[in-house]
Amino acid sequence: MSADGEPINVADYERLASEVLDPGALGYFAGGAADERTLRENVAALARWRLRPRVLVDVAEVSTRTTVLGEPAMPILVAPVAFQQLAHPDGEAGMARAAAAVGTVMCLSTLATARPREVAAAAPDTGLWLQLYCFRDRGVTRALLDEAIEAGFRAVALTVDAPRPGRRERDLRSGFRLPSELSVPSVVEATGARDPISVADILRLVDPALGWADLEALVADSSLPVLVKGVMTAEDAVLAADRGAAGVIVSNHGGRQLDGVPATIDVVGEVADAVGDRMEVLMDGGVRRGTDVLTALALGARAVLVGRPALWGLAVAGEQGARRVLELLRDELELALALCGCPVPEAVSRDHVRRA
């Protein structure tokens, strides 16, 4: 914290969020699967990479601007996080406005507490993507996708790492269930119920039979580029490219699905080597500093997505808190670029990092 009590980094916002969130909600947002080894490893693995700065490079002008899927953005996008009105009444609309304020993309969760058209109307200047779960009831999924397309969303991120819900023991201990006053439109449409429901019960609405043919059909049928979110191997990245996906998001669901898988930063390089010349590679998981973003870029990511950091900002101060977190990460990235001798994100290469 600063001398006047203002948070100055993501860790400060996380501490403040832990003080304002209800214990059940905090456990839901902060927790991971089983022993939470992967949850911790996502952060710890980033600390095992070292930066290799180059000097005597003209960095009088440094920009964090880039493109993602051909659209202007910074290489820090807002990851899909469910139930954002549980953290703050500003919810997804406030998060989208925060993303617009820093000139980046927000990915809206299927399990949002606002409809795609509502978020688009509240933040018309935001580049919006839809994170898509394929429900067992494909009609609900299709209606959600059609609404997003009509509202001007620009891409679809199909989540593929949750055919069954991970064992999130913090939720089991707290007995966390969504409060009845919190509406999740996609769940209401899939179940017809508004009673309190557990997150595990919600994720059981997802079709566990989803396969590569379904991805191929979605790509063929969608007017938007499709990314595959939840890829953790080069082999699956190649399969996604072969089926026409526009990109992959290297993700272990924030350590919330299968405990014991590697940190995403230790996987993104092999995925980029396998498909980086065919599609865009993105990454989420563990990013807490601008230097983390630079490390991911050096290993082949086009951009990273941040979920919990932006959520902590939202919980602490609504839209303005989320915006401030994104600004902090942007400013940290700009400084890291300058000190590594990289005037733009595209100047970052493998030569700028090494394993400790």
- How far is CA 55 from its chain centroid? 33
Burial 311-327 (b: 16+ CB within 10 A, else e): bbbbbbbbbbbbbbbbe
d(CA 50, CA 64): 21
Sign of CA dihedral 287, 290, 294, 295: negative
User: Active-site positions?
Assistant: 253
- DSSP designation for 262: P
Contact assessment for residue 78 and residue 306, using Cβ atoms and an 8 Å cutoff: yes
Structure-derived torsion over alpha carbons of residues 196, 198, 203, 205, reported in degrees to the nearest 10: -40
Instruction: Output phi, psi for 258, to 5 deg.
Output: -105, 110
Q: Is 281 helix (H, G, I), strand (E, B) or coil?
A: strand
Can you give the length of the chain in residues? Answer: 356
Instruction: Give me 163's structure tokens.
Output: 């055919």
Instruction: Output phi, psi for 279, to 5 deg.
Output: -160, 170
229 bridge partner residues: 159, 249
